Amino acid sequence: MKICVLGGDGYCGWAAALYLSGRGHQVSIVDSLVRRQWDRDLEVETLTPILSMPERLNLWRQLTGKTIPFFPGDVTDYEFLSATIQTLAPEVVVHFAEQRSAPYSMIDREHAVSTQVNNVVGTMNLLFALREFAPDCHLVKLGTMGEYGTPNIDIEEGYIEIEHNGRKDILPFPKQPGSFYHLSKVHDSHNITFACKIWGLRATDLNQGVVYGTVSDEVALHEGLINRFDYDEIFGTVLNRFCVQAAVGHPLTVYGKGGQTRGYLDIRDTVRCIEIACQSPAKPGEFRVFNQFTEQFRVLELAHMVRAAAKNLGLKVEIDHLPAPRVESEEHYYNARHSKLIDLGLQPHYLSESLLDSLLNIAVKYRDRVDQSLFMPRVNWRNARNDRSQKLAATLTL
């Protein structure tokens, strides 16, 4: 299939592009490389050393004989995006080109606004470009389980049957996003739903849980193809942070009681889910939703799993509880359905089978690159502020 991966330089996008290319699909990448700029702006760095995009793609071509064309540009630039869609004429667009960090969106006004502009405007541009130049193209969009929040009922896959005052209907599952980032994803879902309804576009929303792992068959070909391993408080996941902390002997920092429960999946399952969605496309006019995760864990449960695995490597690990910087329930009910991708053929990898090889061993290998100052939370949901505005206001007062 002709597949265009938007955001192919990022964590999920890079893994997906290599996997799909390795499986024989005609893959192209569109990316503005802004993810690297955000690292520079925040003065953080992935644990694993990442080559430049040209170096990565040249290495892939040398190792496999497969070429992945790269189109540098921003999805918020409609002229660029629409011209690229016309040039590529893709059968599938896999959309990863979004700012994907909740803490980033909660830093201050500037970061909240830029998150919503990048995500919502970029997706809107894509919808109009597909309507105009590739109306039969299947949009595979990366959503997030965070759209649902943590309701005190079972979370269905996208839709729920409601009976009210003697009448029934199937409606989108209620949204309770927990950050301006998650809100942007909700806006995306509504916009895509509307575009499918009025224009007959076809789309699959993959509401993904927390992804972990760096190891895949493609990356294993050469260290220069290695994926990101973010552990900082902005872009890092809690599981990555725990593994890096264990590798350097730092206590595992659990926010609050650690009862926050989320869905998790291996990066190898992420890329397989993408291919499954591509090979079983939505119908014209259909907006379908798959919940994309394989296991559920509480944060404290993850901390104990990492501590036990680290002990097998001779690492002594303690667990510390910190005040929670986020506005969220520290203990809550959480039971989300996730059967549709299994029904279509997903064979999951499990954290218990990959914690050492895909996470802890990587953290130990690159622990000389660890910056321990990045472990502690600095972004507070209750006190997001714009330092530039404050400095300007102080100047005007003076």
DSSP letters of 9-34? TSHHHHHHHHHHHHTT-EEEEEE--H
Question: What backbone phi and psi angles, to 5 degrees, belong to 187?
Answer: -60, -40
2-6/252-255 β-pairing: unpaired
Q: Copy the structure tokens of residue 76.
A: 């918020």
Q: Tell me: the pLDDT tens digits for 125-167?
A: 999 999 999 999 999 999 999 999 999 999 999 999 999 999 9
Please give the C-alpha separations between residue 264 and each of 100, 251, 294, 305, 352, in angstroms, as whole numbers: 16, 22, 6, 14, 12
The CATH number corresponding to 2-377 among 2.170.150.20, 3.40.50.720, 3.40.50.2300, 3.40.50.300 equals 3.40.50.720
181 in active site:
yes
| Residue (of 376, 379, 374, 257) closest to 326 by Cα position | 379
Query: Which is the catalytic residue, given 185, 231, 237, 255?
Result: 185
Q: What residue segments make up the domains of the chain, in order of their start?
A: 2-377
Helix (H, G, I), strand (E, B) or coil at 196: helix
Predicted local distance difference test score (pLDDT) of residue 383: 83
pTM for the predicted model, two decimal places: 0.95
Burial (CB < 10 A; 0-12, 13-18, 19+), residue 23, is middle
Q: What is the CB neighbour count within 10 angstroms for residue 376?
A: 10
pLDDT at 173: 98
CB atoms within 10 A of CB 358: 21
Count CB atoms within 10 A of the CB of residue 49: 12
Helix (H, G, I), strand (E, B) or coil at 7: coil
Q: Are 147 and 182 in contact (CB under 8 A)?
A: yes
207's CB contacts (< 8 A; 6+ apart) are 143, 144, 145, 147, 148, 157, 158, 289, 290, 291, 292
Which of 46, 144, 261, 294 does the annotation list as catalytic?
A: 144
Distance CA 47, CA 362 (A): 9
Contact 54, 212 (CB under 8 A): no
Residue 398 has what pLDDT? 46
Q: How does strand 167-172 pair with strand 159-164?
A: antiparallel
Catalytic one of 11, 148, 181, 264: 181
CB 269 within 8 A of CB 349: yes
CB 4 within 8 A of CB 94: yes
Strands 261-266 and 210-212: parallel
Helix (H) or strand (E) holding 115: helix 109-116
Q: How far apart are CA 267 and CA 272, in angstroms?
A: 9
Residues of the chain scoring pLDDT < 70: 384-398
Give pLDDT, residue 265: 97
Strands 295-298 and 167-172: unpaired
Among 375, 244, 398, residue whose Cα is nearest residue 322: 375
d(CA 21, CA 251): 40
Nearest CA among 31, 98, 108 for reference residue 68: 31
Answer whether 98's CB lies under 8 Å from 104's CB.
no
pLDDT at 390: 52
Using the 8-state DSSP alphabet, how is residue 360 labeled? I
